[in-house]
Structure 1
């Protein structure tokens, strides 16, 4: 792969593979998707492999000029005064130019003049051409297009970049990571089109669209638009007639709307024109008929400022009606659908803030303040707006007033990191609202549980009027049990509770799902968490969205479903309602997301996520992955083994047995041996009611003691609990212990089995790099191993690496000796599995530079 291919390497590989198999390829995608760049990269790849390539390009300005495209490519060129070539002459000239094995690479094939199309289709009938063509989507398909005339062929879509690829592009241009919420907004606004991503990253720092703060690039404004970006967006809308221009402007103002509303907003012919032009998309991820909106959404920002005045009138007339808002919960939309739904959500939230503010302004009370506070937090409103609501809302002797104080206390403690101010709010509330002491004391205990230690259950007796307080105290009692690993006791308690208030009910549901995960019923816990996440999205409560999203990521990662876990993490971080919301669940998602990225062999994306964890105001949370210093230490260096073991002890002292056991596994994987805190964590795990913690405690104890037999038993326990990621990690540890005992061949067999059985994890090269680090191949040995899967002879390897044949043979012998694997075929196999090199060629680096980093929670 050429370094120049970067994030487009996968699609270049795909196109080159099809061509190598004798199939023509038609590459489709909107302007800005990298179509032309992909064509050029494919041509370079083919030429590097010795394949002759003929480049042809279409130009809309030349469509009425016969044979313009072929003439520009140097085929059948006539003298200025000579006669125009005939079809037969041009076909003959083209036939001479296209030698055996030549591949035609035709960019903007939809803009070819018809004479060139005719000549190309004629030569294809005479001898089958291999061609790589590119165009925009054409709906309906024209009869005289070249793409209909060349067969057999396949269609490949230009890629919409995933968030880690967006980060790769931005990081290359900006030289520093982008904050997770801002990164998600860039991905959504651009629809993942590489041209627009590059435009924002290049223009953004110079226009104020992007600002650097604490080493991270951020989007300080709600929109990523700046007038300087117009030149990047205008090619996307070029060619629209006046009616389509008006319609696109109207759709930009209304934002994505249900299909039936889109048909009321715009005439059918206008909608069809926008669809045919590739500017309108219909996403079916919402309920009913789905939504229709502009794609990519950045076009909407452009048209709102530069669009048609008549289109603005169309939109205003439509919005004058009291139209219903679309309520939906995203399933797992990606690419254009995700961008469309993200845009729709932002519009809905802005509307919700306006409605809630009007109601509160007319009647300031706790009842009207709470919806406004939630809406303000969901849109990352400035602190002074929340301060204003706190200052101007009178208290009354009501349940809503008590819950409003609990909300303010939570915001101050978790979002602002000011636990003292939070407790002051609750103390004042106890004086003014004694009837609702249970709500206020329950909120205090829950905050202490989230930020300090596992508290004693408050002894307050709930007043009959304080139903929410009774529910909140029940939640605190259950989370105390789960923190201690007492899963069955917690389940029994949770089953006896039926909370009705939104927030206690959401926390109760989170604990039900967590009990399933810790109890070894991972599938049920994951499915339940996903259902609850959908409900939380419908309610718009950012705290609950993050809590259930964290549980999804945790459960999926423990189950070894790394690809799904990574997607769940991104969906949470990119959600409009939580992109700027920071709490302990957000820290957990970032930490787990960074660990998953490392396990997948994506260190740059891991570094991007890890660099953002340090922004959390609360350094610790109660559950696994909620310890910021593991991935983002304040000192800038990863904790030493001693410090990590002390952290295990600190977690256990605070009452967080579950989190402490997860940290103990991290410590032993980094090299901790017999240690009082590790021994204590393992012992406490044995006394829990959690099959998962039993297996993890046994894993930690066996690894610290170097006991191979005990480690095998721990692997069985972990497998019974469904914890595939820990089964794989423990198997890697087992292989390392086998190597230290001198059983290299057995260790290689262990790694073979671990790789095969972890197939559900998808890309997992980073997960195995502890073993690769232990094997310790030299840079030259790694280079030799990397080339083996391509099947070169020893002589050709020597020539490629500019070595002697004897030196290559020596390297192969050393690789076999170090790995315990003999034979070129087996070495080639492990080079593509558990010994696959990391993307940066370095097995020993982590997001903060610590060479002992592994992928634990």
Structure 2
């Protein structure tokens, strides 16, 4: 198979174990063949060709390939193996003659025979192959489609002791990720992977065609960082539609009617499907692999075995036939009373599909079911069909909420404003305000507008319960918009559980409690109370899940995990944060939870940044950017672009970092984690060797964080000032933050900064191991590297060597990362004799910066810069900047400036 670019071969990822087993077996003289079993489309032929190539390996004279043949043509598939004039009327003599001819006059020729679809061979051909195998004339490689019937002769051949049997399965999700990464030349975001897996079910042939079709249609796109699908599902290519149509063409009569019904209405109750075709027909469809039976509690349902079957069948249905099938199925569902909760949604969807309309009460009931399942597209479709005469404040809010979750915030705001105008009581107006501010703030990043709407309502409402809801709502917005201390104060009295009435629908109380609960987790973490934030976050998530189980949650419980992962990372529980994030992301992708998933992806990037796996951080930030842009979700974009830029800079990709910095400047300011957006510009400057300017940017960003009360962000930023050589200026403030913020990660970073400031190698070595134990491997590597330099400068060579080995081990967990502290450890021993200012000037010079530009960057005179450079060159015994870069362990400059 060829890749999408026409030149890259699709890799056999996931088949390495089979190849290794084959290699071992082929060396065994007792093994005379290999048979690959697997469903259609799993790549058996491609793997067989690879086996064939390995089998030859220069040891065999030639290859003859026999294609699949009809059982009605005896020996037809092997005709090219038979010598001219061979008389096969006597099989014993004839087969011996074939063997002698293949072996040659000296009886030393051996052949590899590849048989695709062995189960299609006639009995005579199979018996001849068995004879040739036993005679040692050939080695056989064959493929068999799992589930296909074949005779005793084929069974004996495939199952013989001298034949290696290999059972192949479709790709699992991890293997498919590796395949696509190899073919496309870069990572694919999780939602695209989920879509390709859902539509291919790991079938290699289907996957290949779906990827080609998506590339040709322009729906699978690359933004320079990651591949993303711009639609929920890839387009179905004509070649697959034709292949599936050919397979389904043989299904007629009642069986065909079942397939058509399932294509329109699946899953269908077993009793309803049986009423269309009869039990025997259903059993036949199941045995042929076209349908599947599922058990859901006490209800048994039938669905198509592959989603593409439904696409193909629906496309071939004429409209009258479609309408008739839908109406008849509606009658069947109504006949047994529509007792299940999901029946209302199904009936409403069926009515709309069949007639374009439905009973208004049924539409509203169905929309409530869809909202409970977070199926916002269905909610919008159902309520958009509601007649104007039946629109109320609550239906407008429900529809607006669905549009908010579909990232259509402007349409949502219009509906929510309409809901406010339709409100018949103060409670309804407050409910409308709460939902509207949620849309303006959380979906549209219109912070001031959302706070203004909430404040106007606070001034007009008199009911104490409503006032409390509005205050909690304001606290949640302040917590996430750059005023965490005020948020903590307003959210101090949030209960452990929502005081929701015991009814079957989400309420204003539960909805406000949800945002207040995750707002409190975020605010506590931002002000440095990280251990309290973690404890509260777990309790809030458990309470939110209880709400969801009662059908009262307005949002998915996964939303509580976003600030919790943020807090776990700052608490130093990096492994638990990663595990929590991984599980939540997998479930959110599976369940189609989009907007909270984008935030989680962004926070996963920050987690990996703190851990030091900057390459992984870049990948997660890139996915957050791609998903936010695809879904027009503005709030996380600034943080995601900042993380992407900082990660690219630390990996030495200056162009990508520059592009990210330019993008983040055009994004709306959310205010959360204030100051951290400065990381991108600072590390970009550091990558260019302009450390003094980078420290200035970080110090300014840290002041922003301090002014807004973001203590954990300030701690992160000042730690990076220290990492870039500014060891004296932030030391006092870091000590203050160590007292104001809790958690082992805070204490370790403060000790790291203190150790650098006083150049204490013993303290640095100790904190290096502590940071590694927390999972912060990059800081651990830098601390060990600085310890090695300190021990070396004091003549403790053994301790220096041990610390350097630790630094190398920790650095290996952070592939591709370049930081000033690590660059110092990689530099030549003589370079460690440079003063801090000489080292800073040298790094700029090594990057190709002219003396004039260095002088401007460091606020020095050109003469002073040249004097520093002369000292550097004298100490190191160098004459060019290219040599200087090598001595500092940095990439060579693009050119040698004329003015050194």
With structure 2 as the length reference, what TM-score do the two structures score? 0.63
> 2:882 is matched with which residue?
none
Q: 1:418 to 1:158 in 2, by over 3 A?
A: same
User: How far 1:422 sits from its partner (Å)?
Assistant: 2.0
> 1:681-727 CA distances to partner (integer Å, 9 max, x unpaired)?
564144334334334444455467664433454456568xxx6422x
Give the counterpart of 1:415 among 431, 434, 443: 443
For residues 149-164 of structure 1, the aligned pairs below 5 Å read 149=160, 151=163, 153-162=165-174, 164=177
Query: How far apart, CA to CA, are the structure 1 residues paired with 2:39 and 2:399?
Result: 40
> 2:710 is matched with which residue?
656
Q: Is there any run of 5+ residues in structure 1 with no aligned partner, and where? A: 328-342, 460-472, 479-492, 759-763, 779-842, 846-857
Aligned residues: 715
> 1:376 is matched with which residue?
403
Give the counterpart of 1:639 among 681, 689, 703: 681
Give 3-state SS (helix, strand or coil) of 2:594's partner.
coil
Query: How far apart, CA to CA, are the structure 2 residues paired with 1:774 and 1:283?
Result: 62
Q: 1:109 to 1:534 in 2, by over 3 A?
A: farther
For residues 586-601 of structure 1, the aligned pairs below 5 Å read 587-589=602-604, 592=607
> 2:775 is matched with which residue?
725
1:365 paired to 2:392: yes
> 1:437 is matched with which residue?
467
For residues 189-338 of structure 1, the aligned pairs below 5 Å read 189-204=199-214, 206-207=216-217, 209=219, 223-225=233-235, 228=238, 230-231=240-241, 234=244, 237=247, 240-242=250-252, 244-256=255-267, 267-280=278-291, 293-306=303-316, 317-320=328-331, 321=333, 322=338, 324=340
Q: 1:702 to 1:93 in 2, by over 3 A?
A: farther
User: How far 1:526 sits from its partner (Å)?
Assistant: 7.7
User: How far 1:18 sits from its partner (Å)?
Assistant: 0.9
Q: 1:86 to 1:564 in 2, by over 3 A?
A: farther
* Larger Cα-atom Rg: 2
Contact preservation (8 Å) 2:734, 2:750? yes
Give 3-state SS (helix, strand or coil) of 2:15's partner.
helix
Contact preservation (8 Å) 1:7, 1:165? no
Query: How far apart, CA to CA, are the structure 2 residues paired with 1:280 and 1:204?
Result: 27
Give 3-state SS (helix, strand or coil) of 2:168's partner.
strand
Q: 1:348 to 1:603 in 2, by over 3 A?
A: closer
> 2:348 is matched with which residue?
none
For residues 116-127 of structure 1, the aligned pairs below 5 Å read 116-121=125-130
> 1:65 is matched with which residue?
73
User: How far 1:17 sits from its partner (Å)?
Assistant: 0.9
Query: How far apart, CA to CA, are the structure 1 residues paired with 2:617 and 2:150?
Result: 40
User: How far 1:627 sits from its partner (Å)?
Assistant: 5.9
Q: 1:650 to 1:585 in 2, by over 3 A?
A: farther
1:390 paired to 2:417: yes
Choose between structure 1 and 2 for higher RCO, CA contacts under 8 A separated by at least 6 residues: 1
Query: How far apart, CA to CA, are the structure 1 residues paired with 2:681 and 2:581?
Result: 25
> 2:672 is matched with which residue?
none
Q: 1:259 to 1:249 in 2, by over 3 A?
A: same
Query: How far apart, CA to CA, are the structure 1 residues paired with 2:431 and 2:758?
Result: 50
For residues 479-490 of structure 1, the aligned pairs below 5 Å read none
Give the counterpart of 1:34 among 38, 43, 46: 43
1:448 paired to 2:478: yes
Query: How far apart, CA to CA, are the structure 2 residues paired with 1:228 and 1:608?
Result: 30
With structure 1 as the length reference, what TM-score do the two structures score? 0.66
Contact preservation (8 Å) 2:496, 2:539? no
Query: How far apart, CA to CA, are the structure 1 residues paired with 2:634 and 2:586?
Result: 23
Query: How far apart, CA to CA, are the structure 1 residues paired with 2:246 and 2:604?
Result: 36
Q: CA RMSD in A?
A: 5.6
Query: How far apart, CA to CA, are the structure 2 residues paired with 1:239 and 1:706?
Result: 78
Give the counterpart of 1:401 among 426, 429, 433: 429
> 2:20 is matched with which residue?
17
Query: How far apart, CA to CA, are the structure 2 residues paired with 1:699 and 1:360?
Result: 65
For residues 730-809 of structure 1, the aligned pairs below 5 Å read 730-740=779-789, 741-742=791-792, 745-747=801-803, 750=806, 766=815
Contact preservation (8 Å) 2:612, 2:814? no
Q: 1:597 to 1:706 in 2, by over 3 A?
A: closer
Q: 1:458 to 1:307 in 2, by over 3 A?
A: same
Contact preservation (8 Å) 2:267, 2:301? yes
> 1:617 is matched with which residue?
634
Q: 1:76 to 1:512 in 2, by over 3 A?
A: farther
Query: How far apart, CA to CA, are the structure 2 residues paired with 1:67 and 1:553?
Result: 68
